[in-house]
């Protein structure tokens, strides 16, 4: 086990929070040397963790650092292969979610664990008793208590699925409070929230720990861990690589603390790889003009409503917004996968509003889906086949000619083409015959990008291109996107990660409830203006 460098952590959340007392109680839950192995992966490797009442314990780490497995252990979804768990000083097994709840450990999972078709009330009482519903009056009384103590108000009779993810998260927190939990685990709880929503959650966590709860706040975002955590544990590749205790509050300022945490998270790698400045700026007349584009969707949010913008060669236009506000509908309408109810799309002076997917692709409009495995690739097919998946049956990879003469596969050409792409885009794969599903997310992304850029590409639409990738691949992808624009292509970059847009985009539009609420240039103060646009209309 790596010795945990216990570095004093500065008062980083000073802004809104007064100095708080250092809790001097014993841990509610302790993990001692827990280890979990999945086939081929050592997910958690001898990790010690102590959860103290009155403390927000931030668990920080990249994808695959072991955060989710630790959550699963604490919430009874998996049991450790080795190591011990102590609850209130006594050794316990947490063999099922029920056992976890009985020990007072409640979890708000990353993906909402509420039944969407049930009402708020029904979700609150789910699992509490088999045979009868609890008295509604009694429940309302307890909810009134929770409202006055923590400021969460719920409408009991609403259907859960109609509420926003932030509201659903509050239901889960209230449910934990109703169960009189001692430990509340929040797994990537801010990933679905607006920046304002994240701040509100931070304030709520503060009130929760004041009431004596131990809160575990799992995140992969460094600034959130530093802002909200009293104690920060850093995980890397299944191991605990450091813990910053609240005791030594003194010397460090925020920058030094962040640097310390970065050092723990990435070892000697640096996240901020220097990127060459963008070579060229947008120039010439727009290559893509979208006017009043409207796409109907299943819900109030999931649609595009009167969207207009222009895109010039060499330009990156970012689309910011909370996930599920019509970004996917917009992207698919541009790609031709959805029919526009109104509006027009003009590519290079040619109206393609009614053109199909294949025609748009041929004209140079390319789309990189956010659903890499579901819609972007066929997991069981070789890399080589996936690289030509959008040209099936067409020359030069299939023979040309009428009837039986056409459409015969030319394996040699397909393989050669794939090898060239693998080489050019640095795809890490054993060979071109390997099923693409066996590659990592970052490498699948490279293959799809290579596919979309082949031929005469003019406009590339990216939908959440770095979603689910690890930090190094995120940086590489951003560099590649910048390089594409530098090469003179027009890029529409849809992302829920504002940092990413601020990093590479030239202009940033904000999308909320299907509308573009504004487009701002990416310069000083862009962040504040985007934040204002987000709350202005965000659901």
Partner 1 sequence: MEALLTAAFLTALLAGAVAAGVPLLLAGLGEQMSEKAGVLNIGIEGMMLMGAYLGFLVAFESGNGALGFVAGMAGGMAVAFVMAILCVGLALNQIVIGIGLTLGVEGLTALLHHFQFSTTYPRLPAAWRMPVPGLVELPVIGPALFDRHPLVYLAFLLVPLLAWLYRRTALGLTLRAAGEKPAALDVAGIDVATVRFLAVLFTGAMAGLGGAFMANVAAGIFIPFMTGGAGFIGIVLAMLARGRPAWVLIGAVVFGGALSLTTALQVAGLNVPTDLIQMLPFAAVMAVLVLYGRKARLPAALGLPYVRGAR
Query: For residues 42-81, which are near partner 1 according to CB under 8 A?
Result: 72, 75, 77-78
DSSP for 127-173, please give it.
TT-SS-PPPHHHHHHHHHHHHHHH-----TTSBGGGS-HHHHHHHHH
Binding mask 244-273 for partner 1 (x = CB under 8 A): ------------------------------
Minimum CB–partner distance for residue 132 and partner 1 (Å):
6
Tell me if 165 contacts partner 1 by CB under 8 A.
Answer: no
Which residue among 128, 245, 249, 389 contacts partner 1 (CB under 8 A)? 128
228, 13 contact by CB (below 8 A): yes
Stretch that binds partner 1, among 6-14, 129-137, 392-400, 427-435 (CB under 8 A): 129-137
Binding mask 104-123 for partner 1 (x = CB under 8 A): ---x-x-x-xxxxxx---xx
Closest CB to partner 1 among 106 and 445? 106
Minimum CB–partner distance for residue 327 and partner 1 (Å):
24
Both tokens assigned to 316: 């990156």
- Cα–Cα separations (whole angstroms), residue 469 to 63, 219, 431, 444: 8, 15, 22, 10
Minimum CB–partner distance for residue 131 and partner 1 (Å):
6
**Binding-residue total with partner 1 (CB under 8 A):** 30
Stretch that binds partner 1, among 99-107, 191-199, 462-470, 515-523 (CB under 8 A): 99-107
Tell me if 129 contacts partner 1 by CB under 8 A.
Answer: yes
| Contacts for 114 with CB less than 8 Å, ≥ 6 apart | 123, 160, 168, 171, 172
19, 64 contact by CB (below 8 A): no
Closest CB to partner 1 among 107 and 289? 107
Taking the C-alpha atoms of residue 137 and residue 347, their distance in angstroms, rounded to an integer, is 61
Tell me if 96 contacts partner 1 by CB under 8 A.
Answer: yes
Tell me if 133 contacts partner 1 by CB under 8 A.
Answer: yes
Which residue among 12, 58, 101, 334 contacts partner 1 (CB under 8 A)? 101
Phi and psi (nearest 5°) for 176? -60, -40
- Cα–Cα separations (whole angstroms), residue 260 to 7, 66, 222: 8, 20, 11
Closest CB to partner 1 among 125 and 146? 125
Taking the C-alpha atoms of residue 234 and residue 7, their distance in angstroms, rounded to an integer, is 12
Taking the C-alpha atoms of residue 252 and residue 43, their distance in angstroms, rounded to an integer, is 32
Minimum CB–partner distance for residue 229 and partner 1 (Å):
24
Both tokens assigned to 134: 């609890």
Tell me if 125 contacts partner 1 by CB under 8 A.
Answer: yes
Tell me if 97 contacts partner 1 by CB under 8 A.
Answer: yes
Tell me if 127 contacts partner 1 by CB under 8 A.
Answer: yes
In Å, how far from its chain's centre is CA 239? 22
Tell me if 102 contacts partner 1 by CB under 8 A.
Answer: yes
Closest CB to partner 1 among 23 and 441? 441
Tell me if 126 contacts partner 1 by CB under 8 A.
Answer: yes
Taking the C-alpha atoms of residue 86 and residue 49, their distance in angstroms, rounded to an integer, is 10
Phi and psi (nearest 5°) for 179? -80, 5
Closest CB to partner 1 among 38 and 283? 38
Residue 68 burial (10 A CB sphere; 0-12, 13-18, 19+): buried
Closest CB to partner 1 among 127 and 356? 127
- Cα–Cα separations (whole angstroms), residue 537 to 197, 322, 532: 14, 11, 9
Closest CB to partner 1 among 81 and 499? 81
User: Binding residues for partner 1, per CB under 8 A?
Assistant: 72, 75, 77-78, 96-98, 101-102, 107, 109, 111, 113-118, 122-123, 125-133, 175
């Amino acid at each position: 086990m790596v010795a945990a460098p216990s570095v004093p952590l500065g008062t980083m959340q000073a802004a809104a929070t007064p100095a708080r007392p250092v809790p001097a109680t014993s841990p509610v839950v302790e993990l001692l040397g827990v280890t979990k192995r999945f086939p081929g992966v050592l997910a958690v490797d001898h990790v010690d963790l102590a959860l103290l009442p009155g403390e927000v314990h931030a668990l920080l780490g990249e994808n695959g650092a072991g955060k989710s497995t630790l959550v699963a252990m604490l919430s009874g979804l998996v049991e450790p292969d080795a190591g011990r768990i102590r609850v209130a000083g006594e050794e316990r097994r947490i063999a099922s979610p029920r056992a976890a709840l009985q020990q007072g450990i409640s979890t708000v999972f990353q993906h909402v664990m509420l039944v969407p078709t049930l009402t708020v009330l029904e979700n609150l009482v789910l699992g509490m008793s088999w045979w009868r519903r609890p008295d509604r009056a009694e429940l309302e009384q307890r909810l009134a208590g929770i409202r006055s103590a923590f400021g969460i108000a719920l409408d009991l009779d609403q259907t859960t699925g109609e509420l926003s993810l932030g509201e659903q998260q509050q239901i889960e927190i209230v449910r934990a409070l109703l169960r009189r939990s001692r430990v509340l685990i929040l797994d990537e709880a801010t990933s679905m929230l607006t920046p304002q929503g994240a701040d509100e959650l931070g304030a709520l966590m503060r009130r929760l720990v004041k009431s004596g709860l131990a809160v575990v706040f799992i995140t992969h975002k460094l600034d959130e861990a530093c802002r909200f955590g009293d104690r920060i544990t850093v995980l890397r590749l299944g191991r605990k690589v450091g813990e910053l205790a609240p005791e030594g509050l003194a010397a460090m300022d925020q920058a030094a603390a962040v640097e310390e945490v970065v050092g723990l998270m990435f070892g000697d790698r640096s996240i901020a790889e220097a990127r060459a400045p963008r070579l060229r700026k947008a120039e010439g007349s727009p290559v893509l003009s979208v006017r009043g584009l409207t796409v109907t969707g299943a819900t109030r949010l999931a649609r595009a409503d009167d969207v207009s913008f222009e895109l010039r060669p060499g330009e990156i236009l970012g689309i910011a917004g909370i996930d599920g506000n019509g970004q996917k509908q917009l992207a698919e309408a541009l790609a031709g996968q959805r029919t526009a109810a109104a509006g027009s799309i003009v590519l290079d002076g040619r109206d393609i509003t009614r053109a199909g997917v294949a025609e748009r692709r041929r004209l140079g409009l390319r789309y990189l889906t956010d659903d890499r495995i579901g819609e972007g690739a066929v997991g069981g097919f070789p890399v080589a086949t996936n690289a030509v998946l959008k040209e099936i049956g067409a020359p030069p990879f299939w023979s040309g000619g009428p009837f039986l003469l056409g459409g015969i596969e030319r394996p040699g050409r397909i393989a050669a083409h794939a090898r060239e792409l693998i080489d050019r885009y640095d795809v890490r794969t054993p060979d071109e015959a390997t099923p693409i599903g066996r590659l990592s997310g970052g490498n699948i992304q490279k293959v799809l990008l290579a596919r979309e850029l082949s031929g005469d590409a003019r406009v590339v639409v990216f939908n959440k291109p770095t979603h689910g990738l690890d930090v190094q691949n995120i940086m590489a992808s951003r560099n590649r996107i910048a390089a594409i624009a530098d090469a003179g292509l027009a890029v529409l970059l849809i992302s829920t990660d504002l940092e990413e847009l601020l990093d590479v985009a030239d202009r940033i539009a904000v999308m909320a409830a299907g509308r573009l609420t504004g487009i701002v240039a990416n310069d000083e103060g862009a962040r504040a203006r985007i934040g204002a646009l987000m709350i202005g209309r965000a659901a």
